[in-house]
């Protein structure tokens, strides 16, 4: 009896020490303590933003643009207001006609999202029309005022080298070269032949249209925060005629903008 009791105590002691040390295990298995080297790490996620420094030009072919920027990593579908990755493109492109390329640009004021929209140009071939840039949308993430926003974009500074007229219409401003260059006039002529807009475009030229963030207060053209700037074909005269006839309101004439004048440039950082 004493021998049996000693054996039971010995077994109990062995099992207790095994449980405390965490080494109880099924028969036939081995114990491997978890080390820091065996932890499962999540794969590093790639940044979907494609940041480019290349300038965007109206009426450039899609093929030429992508040679300079590379194929987009993201696309935007305006109909459903959704950003998609390049892996999802095939899934959506048969259902939606308009799909924009998405890029990003570091500017003196902030990081800007750039959406590139295309149109068909059949002036050279009706059977094989070329795909060309018709609009470039620059979307600002943080608050920025009119002249700082204009000055932050290389495309707008180049466009307005000789000065741009600024006209305010309701909640938007149109900036158009005061005296378009011969190159700008020819570009407008090419684009206008393929254009379909309700507003008369007799004086059309490359330009920008500025849109402001939603606010319960009236828009202050000079100081309200800008949401986006659209680089496209514009017409101050056509917009003015529409504003007077339909809205029965004259446009607000703002001070002409010269990007290379100290008073009209982006303030130093």
Q: What is the pLDDT along the chain (269 residues), one digit of tens a residue?
A: 444 444 444 444 444 444 344 444 444 433 333 433 445 555 556 677 899 999 999 999 999 999 999 999 999 999 999 999 999 999 999 999 999 999 999 999 999 999 999 999 998 898 999 999 999 999 999 999 999 999 999 999 999 999 999 999 988 999 999 999 999 999 999 998 777 665 567 788 999 999 999 999 999 999 999 999 999 999 888 888 877 888 778 899 999 999 987 555 444 44
Domain around 207: 144-264
Instruction: Enumerate residues 6+ apart whose C-beta is below 8 A from 152.
Output: 107, 108, 109, 110, 112, 144, 266
How much is the pLDDT for 241? 81
Is 138 within 8 Å of 245 (Cβ atoms)? no
The number of beta carbons lying within 10 Å of the beta carbon of residue 263 is 8
Q: CA dist 49 to 66, 78, 95, 252, Å?
A: 16, 18, 24, 37
- Helix, strand, coil share (%) of the chain residues, nearest 5: 30, 25, 45
Same domain, 158 and 255: yes
How much is the pLDDT for 239? 82
Q: CA-CA distance, 259 to 157, in Å (whole number)?
A: 6
Same domain, 241 and 148: yes
Is 203 within 8 Å of 237 (Cβ atoms)? yes
Is 145 within 8 Å of 222 (Cβ atoms)? yes
How much is the pLDDT for 2? 46
Same domain, 136 and 159: no
Is 265 within 8 Å of 149 (Cβ atoms)? no
Same domain, 104 and 164: no
Owner of token pair 């529409």: 242
How much is the pLDDT for 179? 95
Domain's final residue, options 125, 142, 159 = 142
Same domain, 113 and 163: no
Same domain, 174 and 221: yes
The number of beta carbons lying within 10 Å of the beta carbon of residue 133 is 22
How much is the pLDDT for 238? 81
């Amino acid at each position: 009896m004493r021998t049996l009791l000693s054996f039971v105590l010995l077994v109990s002691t062995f099992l207790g020490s095994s449980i405390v040390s965490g080494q109880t295990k099924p028969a036939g298995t081995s114990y491997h303590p978890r080390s820091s080297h065996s932890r499962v790490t999540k794969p590093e996620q790639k940044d979907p933003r494609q940041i480019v420094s290349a300038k965007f030009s109206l009426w450039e072919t899609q093929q030429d643009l992508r040679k300079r920027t590379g194929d987009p990593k993201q696309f935007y579908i305006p109909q459903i207001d959704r950003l998609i990755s390049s892996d999802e493109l095939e899934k959506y492109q048969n259902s939606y006609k308009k799909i924009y390329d998405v890029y990003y640009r570091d500017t003196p004021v902030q990081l800007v999202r750039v959406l590139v929209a295309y149109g068909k140009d059949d002036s050279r071939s009706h059977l094989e029309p070329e795909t060309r840039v018709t609009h470039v949308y620059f979307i600002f993430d943080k608050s920025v005022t009119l002249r700082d926003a204009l000055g932050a974009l290389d495309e707008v500074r180049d466009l307005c080298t000789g000065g741009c007229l600024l006209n305010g219409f309701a909640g938007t401003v149109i900036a158009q070269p005061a005296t378009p260059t011969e190159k700008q006039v020819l570009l407008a002529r090419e684009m206008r032949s393929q254009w379909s807009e309700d507003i008369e475009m007799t004086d059309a030229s490359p330009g920008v249209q500025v849109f402001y963030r939603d606010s319960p207060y009236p828009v202050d053209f000079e100081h309200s925060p800008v949401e986006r700037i659209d680089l496209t074909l514009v017409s101050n005269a056509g917009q003015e005629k529409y504003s007077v006839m339909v809205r029965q309101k004259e446009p607000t004439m703002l001070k002409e903008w010269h990007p290379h004048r100290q008073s009209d440039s982006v303030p130093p950082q």
